[in-house]
């Protein structure tokens, strides 16, 4: 069994921090899109989200939720809202696939696995930015910055974490020397069992 040197220990610590950051981004996306049901505004007088569009009805004295077919009459593009929904939920799905390739890329030190991690992070980040931006562009008539709630803040924080992870993965892949395997990982390929991979 080999004892990790100072550089290997620093790499493992950095990898652990990256995995925790991925977990934080996933948690924020799950919170905003599942726990908060995709609602960016969730007030007693207004509920606007990826699945809900409810405005206060003065005559009824309650929230009136509009169905998909009624959104065009309000001037909303159902196609734009569907693309926005696809973007943000697609970002969640792709982010869920990041942790395993990240660990494999660290152990195997192959360029293809680092590129897979970079691809997942880049596409997830672009999808989230596209979906959130398109949704805000479609619904901006009914939104003000002060109305946006914790779901919106969680999506913004997840976007920031995804960009941070993307940058850190580029730097880490270069520093890890993606073409050479450590001795302990070479035993994995020979079937002798992994020692610290």
Q: Using one digit for the tens of pLDDT, what is the confidence trace for 122-146?
A: 999 999 999 999 999 988 888 888 8
Extract the runs of DSSP E, i.e. beta strands, from the chain.
39-43, 46-49, 53-57, 62-65
- Do 131 and 85 contact (CB within 8 A), yes or no? yes
Conformation bin of residue 38: beta by default, left when phi > 0, alpha when psi is -120 to 50: left
The pLDDT tens digits of the residues spanning 18-74 come to 888 899 999 999 999 999 988 999 888 889 888 888 888 888 888 888 887 788 888
Q: Which two three-digit tokens encode residue 90?
A: 């697609």
Taking each continuous run of H as one helix and of E as one strand, the counts in the chain are: 6, 4
The pLDDT of residue 172 is above 80: no
Rounded mean pLDDT of the chain?
82
pLDDT, residue 8, reads 63
pLDDT, residue 7, reads 59
pLDDT, residue 89, reads 95
- Do 109 and 174 contact (CB within 8 A), yes or no? no
The interaxial angle of helices 78-96 and 150-175, nearest 10 deg, is 50
Tell me the whole-structure pTM to 2 decimals.
Answer: 0.78
């Amino acid at each position: 069994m080999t004892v990790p040197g100072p550089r290997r220990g620093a790499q493992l610590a950095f990898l652990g921090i990256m995995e925790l950051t991925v977990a934080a981004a996933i948690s924020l996306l799950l919170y905003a899109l599942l726990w908060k049901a995709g609602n960016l505004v969730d007030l007693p007088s207004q509920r606007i989200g990826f699945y809900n569009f409810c405005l206060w009805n003065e005559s009824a004295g309650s929230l009136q939720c509009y169905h998909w077919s009624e959104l065009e009459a309000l001037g909303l593009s159902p196609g734009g809202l569907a693309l926005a929904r696809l973007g943000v939920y697609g970002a969640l799905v792709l982010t869920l696939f990041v942790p395993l390739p990240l660990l494999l890329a660290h152990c195997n030190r192959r360029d293809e696995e680092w590129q897979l991690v970079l691809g997942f992070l880049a596409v997830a980040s672009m999808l989230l930015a596209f979906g959130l931006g398109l949704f805000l562009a479609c619904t901006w008539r009914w939104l003000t910055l002060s109305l946006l709630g914790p779901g919106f803040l969680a999506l913004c924080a997840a976007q920031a974490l995804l960009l941070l992870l993307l940058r850190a993965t580029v730097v880490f892949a270069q520093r890890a020397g993606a073409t050479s395997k450590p001795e302990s990982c070479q035993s994995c390929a020979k079937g002798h069992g992994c020692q610290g991979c």
